[in-house]
A = this chain, B = another copy of it.
Amino acid sequence: MHRGSNQLQLADFNQAVVLDAIRSTPGVSRAGVQRASGLSSQTISNITRRLIDDRLIRESSPGAGARGRPSIPLTVNPDGAFSVGVHIDPARLTIVLLDLSGKVRRKQQLRTPQATNPTEVTTLLADQAASLVRRAGVDRDRVLGLGLAAPGPLDVQAGVVLDPPQLPNWRNVQLRSDLHEATNLPVLLDKDVTAAATAELRSSRGTATDFVFLYLGSGVGAAVVADNQVLRGTTNNIGEIGDIIVDPNAEPLDGFSRRGGLAAACVPEALVIQAARLGLLPLPDLNDYLAIDDSCTELCTLASSGHGGAARILARAARGVAVGLGVLVNLLDVPRVIVGGPLWNRLSETFLPVLPRLVTQELVATHDGLVVQGSAVGEHVAAQGAAELIMDHFLAPRHSALMVG
């Protein structure tokens, strides 16, 4: 597979510029690429010829009704390149196969094996990735690499998962090199929230250029998109918001260092502890993220079916999330908040009807019509974003993250 990736490597910066123009504007003509890139028409002619020969782009027939010499629309060849995206949440593993047109061709969700060595997870992921590629029937030589989204803090430079509070067995795991060895694919590691915001930005196609992405999974985090750029932070660990105090009157919760913090207000572990305290559910094993996740699902089902106590727990969580979002919107002055992640499908029914009003109550400046919306991508948003980071790494004019392999 590694050989294939080398074959696909773009020859030069100009080639990346041209491919990028065609990726971002499907159907663009050579003249359009020239306007967008500033390259000479001869250069563009040579490069598009090479990209067609490499099967990365293709020509369509010109639209009817064009006057004069018809310009030939250029689009990427969806089968020209693929990337695998993996999202590791302590409770759920999500794997997607993305094609060059940005479409998710296959996706899969698994329960994250608990209480195991990280190596077992690496092996599982490598097997699943290979099987996904095989079942999709795509040319393995066309798979550029594997992007990995994981909870922070990460050492993105070294490809290491440092000591994420949500992955207690994962201390200083050389995730990037381990997974590279297991798959023989180039591997890129990035933070879950950054990957998720990347996918959300891409899928919004220009309608959302400045927003905060709130990630709700086994943990809580945020990403910031300003002027069409996903901010990364200096150490690529942007978005640690779990300690923001949102509920000063909250009781202390075991396992949460910050009383009344955002994490203690809304992550599944906190919600099931609260439910157990009220006798709604038995307390699950708090070292088992699967058990927590299942309990949380049960709590959300209870609330959904009209159980008052369960509904009150989620309503309080929504208020906490709103206070946290108020901090982010007041600080960053964004017009839009997008909420997503593995927990979101279970909370959106309770949260979406109340969040816009609750967040607006928190705002200092007038933000007429602050938009609060659920992810347009869905639960696999971080996995898709990780796959998109691979595409960008190999095909875009600027490299977005570090890579081995």
Contacts and interface: CB of A to CB of B under 8 A. Distances in A.
Contacts of A326: 243
Interface stretch (A264-272, A330-338, A395-403): A330-338
A219 to B, nearest CB: 11
A327 interface: yes
Contacts of A146: none
Contacts of A239: 331, 333
Contact of A333 (B236, B260, B334, B362): B236
Contacts of A330: 240-241, 243-244
Interface string A219-248: 000101010000111111111111111101
A78 to B, nearest CB: 33
A365 interface: yes
A332 B235 contact: no
Contacts of A259: 248
A interface majority secondary structure: loop
Interface string A155-169: 000000010010000
A334 B153 contact: no
B240 A331 contact: yes
Interface in A164-215: 165, 210
Given A235-B367, A242-B364, A364-B240, A331 B331 contact: yes
B362 A233 contact: no
Given A246-B245, A248-B259, A333 B365 contact: no
A328 interface: yes
A42 interface: no
A285 B137 CA distance: 77
B332 A224 contact: yes
A222 B327 CA distance: 12
Interface in A354-371: 362, 364-367
